[in-house]
Amino acid sequence: MSSQLPILQVIIPLISAPLCLIISRPKLVWLFTLIASTISFIISIILIHQVMQSGTIIYSLGDWEAPIGIEYRIDYLNAYLLLIVTGISSIILLSAHTSITAELSHNKYVLFYVLFLLCLSGMLGIIATGDAFNVFVFLEIASLSSYSLIALGKDRRALTAALRYLLVGTLGATFILIGIGLMYMMTGTLNMHDLSERLPNLSESRTLIIAFSFFTVGVCLKLALFPLHWWLPNAYAYAPSVVSAFLAATATKVAIYILLRFIFTVFGIEFSFSILPLQKILLALGLVGILTASTIAIYQNNVKQLFAYSSISQIAYIILALGMNNSTGLVAALLHLFNHALMKGALFLALSAVMYRVGSTQLTDFSGLGKSMPWTMAAIVIGGLSLIGIPLTVGFISKWYMLIASLENNLWPVTVLILLGSILTGIYVWRIVETAYFTTNKTGLNHIKEAPFSLLLPTWLLILANLYFGINPRFTITITKLTAQSLGAMP
């Protein structure tokens, strides 16, 4: 049984999805989904243990050996990402039932869980698989289900947002497919391990460079790197709150995983950073992304949109850290993958609580919430502090590593800009705090109560995780350092 874990990880949510349709009673479906996700979470914990003890796990699907069959490879990076995705999805699912009853029409409840599980299994598949084409397939599963999830939003703008995401996302997927196709053409294999062995011999080839470019641009679109980010804000803003939380915390992380996997494992560091100007591009786009997205966030009037732009800027931080091209930078990027998932998950869950009670996430509707929803607002404040990078929160840990990485490269202007980005973050967080705590509600909505426990519990689980891993980051730092080592970036 335990040797089947890599595939179970993916298969369980995938099979649970159609089963949901059979159960068809919302509350039961919710429980079923939650259990499926939790099982995946438990499996991911076991997997990370196994990886730590016995190294990379190789699992051949249907016992077909690698070149012919599909191979699942779980090393530190996969295990780490699996842990993040399943953990976040399980916690978010805790709140799903309460939240969607307020935001979705009755007949869509079951559909929501089906799509959620499909999306989850798609992401887990992307992470677990060791086959390049398989990545594309799972990416399509995850993407299509997430388009649909976004389209479930009550706001009619959710439909257009989903459509735009669909079109642009498909374009990105096509780019990825072109990249993979070119690689297959050059090497005759789709297995990542084989690719990584054969590609270095072809590093002079123009086709390979084009393959790399198409692939990277496609992935950058998926992870919403700054000038390719247009689809994201509206998609996050108009999707149901649970979906926003789930996608913000996990989807972009998975895209970054693909980038990491292909840069470090498939193409190799030397090809990516030495032959190709990836470092310059990532640094430049990262910096511009941080500053622009943060500045846009300052001017937003919808808090969901504000945090969507904040996500773009935080992703840009990760990209910037990658662009440092040193081991500390990679550790910082990996740390921020985890930490940003914790922050954004908590913040969007808190927003779902606001949405549940107030029915809107316009900034003006936040006035007076500091009094009427103290726990929710406290969660937003702590999450916001984490976002800024105040010590004792996870945000501080990853920002700290980024600063060190930039100083190691003698890029002190970058250091200054990172700090400037933190100041901008402080500004947009302060806007929310100011509205919530220092303005009184003019509309006289005094009946607003604190959010129900089912929403507060997952929010605060994530907030406490923010604080715990901020105070005691030993686990995350150990695992990210091991990951960086396994990716070959660490001596």
Judged by the rule CB under 8 A, the positions of this chain that interact with another protein are: 161, 164, 167-168, 171-172, 175, 206, 209-210, 212-214, 216-217, 220-221, 227-228, 230-231, 233-234, 276-277, 280-281, 292, 295-296, 298-301, 305, 309
Cα angle 129, 133, 135 (rounded to 5 degrees) comes to 45
> Is the CB of 113 or the CB of 262 nearer to another protein?
262
Rounded least distance, CB 141 to another protein, Å: 22
> Is the CB of 265 or the CB of 300 nearer to another protein?
300
What is the dihedral sign for C-alpha 427, 429, 430, 432? positive
Interatomic CA distance for residues 196 and 207, integer angstroms = 16
> Is the CB of 17 or the CB of 363 nearer to another protein?
363
> Is the CB of 21 or the CB of 210 nearer to another protein?
210
What is the dihedral sign for C-alpha 28, 451, 306, 284? negative
Residues 84 and 40 sit within 8 Å (Cβ to Cβ): no
Rounded least distance, CB 242 to another protein, Å: 23
Rounded least distance, CB 77 to another protein, Å: 24
Which of 289, 307, 311, 286 is CA-nearest to residue 298? Answer: 307
Which of 177, 205, 221, 187 is CA-nearest to residue 271? Answer: 205
> Is the CB of 166 or the CB of 351 nearer to another protein?
166
Say what the alpha-carbon torsion angle 284, 289, 294, 295 is, to the nearest 10 degrees: 80
Rounded least distance, CB 26 to another protein, Å: 32
Rounded least distance, CB 103 to another protein, Å: 21
Q: Which class for 315: exposed (0-12), middle (13-18), buried (19 or more C-beta within 10 A)?
A: buried
For residue 131, is it left (φ>0), alpha (ψ between -120 and 50) or beta?
Answer: beta
Residues 247 and 165 sit within 8 Å (Cβ to Cβ): no
Rounded least distance, CB 389 to another protein, Å: 21
Rounded least distance, CB 290 to another protein, Å: 13
